[in-house]
């Protein structure tokens, strides 16, 4: 979801109505799609609130599972660090080995998070 992908359960709701649904009221379908989107946004908001309140275990998970501070941090770890404003993880981005990241996209994502959250580049 962090990259905009749909859950497999939501693919039908994200897809435009097809010809075999022509007899269904389009306003009802739109309403259901809007409700599903709103429910998803509320769920994501609640999850982010929980992760923000439990910063230490969140950071531990980002480090252990998603490689934050390692030689190959995942884009998800960097995204969550920025999204949750986890400035206490800035030392994980200050490690010298991250200066030698060859992937331009990853290097720019690291720089963006450092600029957003960390006082020194």
Domain spans of the chain, in order of start: 25-117
Task: Say what the pTM is.
Answer: 0.68
C-beta separation of 55 from 83 below 8 A = no
Tens digits of pLDDT across the chain (121 residues): 667 676 666 655 555 555 555 566 778 778 888 888 899 999 999 999 999 999 999 999 999 999 998 888 899 999 999 999 999 999 998 888 777 776 788 888 888 999 999 875 4
Nearest Cα to Cα of residue 69 among 59, 80, 79 = 59
């Amino acid at each position: 979801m962090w990259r905009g992908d749909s859950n497999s359960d939501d693919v039908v709701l994200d897809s435009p109505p097809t010809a075999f649904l022509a007899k269904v009221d389009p306003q009802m379908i739109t309403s259901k799609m809007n409700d599903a989107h709103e429910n998803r946004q509320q769920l994501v908001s609640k999850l982010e609130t929980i992760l923000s309140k439990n910063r230490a275990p969140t950071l531990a998970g980002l480090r252990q599972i998603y490689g934050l501070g390692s030689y190959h941090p995942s884009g998800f770890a960097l995204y969550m660090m920025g999204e949750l404003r986890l400035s206490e993880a800035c030392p994980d981005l200050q490690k010298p080995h991250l200066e030698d990241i060859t992937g331009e996209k990853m290097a720019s994502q690291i720089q963006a998070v450092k600029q957003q959250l960390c006082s020194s580049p």
